[in-house]
Amino acid sequence: MKKISLGKTGIEAPRVIFGGIIVMDETPKDADKYVSHAVDIGVDFFDVAPGYGNAEEKLGPALKKYRNKVTLSCKTFERTAEGARQTLENSLRKLQTDYFDLFQLHSMANVDEVERVFAEDGAMSTILKAKEAGLIKHIGITAHNEETAILALSKFDFETVMFPINWTLNFGDRLAKLCKEKQIGIIAIKSLAHRRLQKDEAALFPKSWTKPITNDDRLGICAIKHTLSRGADAIVPPGSFEHFCFAAKHIDECLANPLNDEDIRYLQDCLPSEDERFFIEKNQGRQTVENRV
């Protein structure tokens, strides 16, 4: 699989990343199978978080024999120094590793949270100490709110940002531009999300809180192309092995044949209705796919 230099981290990342939630609630045999398949096809970057059920416990043993050959990233939801310390230590133990290549402040939601993590007793103090101690190599953030992410980047020289870049959403371009200017790696999530689950609709992929694109290869390929066109260095597909395999199978095709006018028209035809949108950001308008490209 083709790789890209992830910002200024020095990490050569595959263009598709293995989301650790894939192994949540799986048997050890299946977890081993999924991880081995990823490594065999050249995906050597794994991302997980404490909030993904028992994914850490499942991923740790499956990844152990590959640990010195892969990039492993983890996260913390905690905003205090003590909370971040505890989650970091727990994650290191569960994932059976001595360090994380990338550690991220997870789901930064608003100004208050940004201020909290940078307070004297905030999570950043723990993260910086952990980096000094060699427990963390690189520091990033994840967010769903563009303004919050931009604010966080003004406070610290984060090396990566994980953010939703999706063909049905119209925000994120200012953040992507800033990341490119600062050589910050962009890890995109939600590239294959389609719409929200409707009331009483069965979730075919319960590890994703949206309805991912299914049974339409053309739409999935166009959606990935769109995410790449908006600046993503790498993507984390929705939390199913099926979607991971789809993205890995088609990523080279998407890179070789970038988004074109015909793709844009197809995406435009497939846009979900206003009330089906899976994500609405306050004070963000909505544009057409054509206007966003």
Closest C-alpha among 140, 161, 232, 159 to residue 192: 232
Q: Domains along the chain?
A: 3-292 (3.20.20.100)
Is residue 32 classed as helix, strand or coil in its secondary structure? helix
What is the DSSP-derived secondary structure letter of residue 80?
B
Task: Give the pairing of strands 12-14 and 71-76.
Answer: unpaired
Query: Which has the higher per-residue pLDDT, 280 or 49?
Result: 49
Task: Give the pairing of strands 3-5 and 12-14.
Answer: antiparallel
Q: What is the pLDDT of residues 162-191, one digit of tens each?
A: 999 999 988 899 999 999 999 999 999 999
Mean pLDDT across the stretch 114-129? 98
What is the structure's pLDDT at 206?
79
Which amino acid does the sequence have at 287? Q
What is the DSSP-derived secondary structure letter of residue 128?
H
For residue 268, the number of C-alpha atoms closer than 13 Å in the C-beta half-sphere is 14
**Partners of 3 in the β-ladder:** 14
pLDDT band at 200; cut points 50, 70, 90: confident
pLDDT band at 248; cut points 50, 70, 90: very high
What is the structure's pLDDT at 292?
36
Average pLDDT, the chain: 93
- State how far the Cα of 57 lies from the Cα of 47, in Å rounded to an integer: 13
Question: Rounded to two decimals, what is the model's pTM?
Answer: 0.93
**Which token pair is 279?**
């994500």
Query: Which has the higher per-residue pLDDT, 140 or 196?
Result: 140
**Which token pair is 234?**
């790498």
What is the structure's pLDDT at 89?
98
Closest C-alpha among 165, 158, 3 to residue 75: 158
Alpha helix stretches (DSSP H) within the chain: 28-40, 55-63, 81-94, 111-117, 123-132, 146-155, 173-182, 217-229, 241-256, 261-270, 289-292
pLDDT band at 5; cut points 50, 70, 90: very high
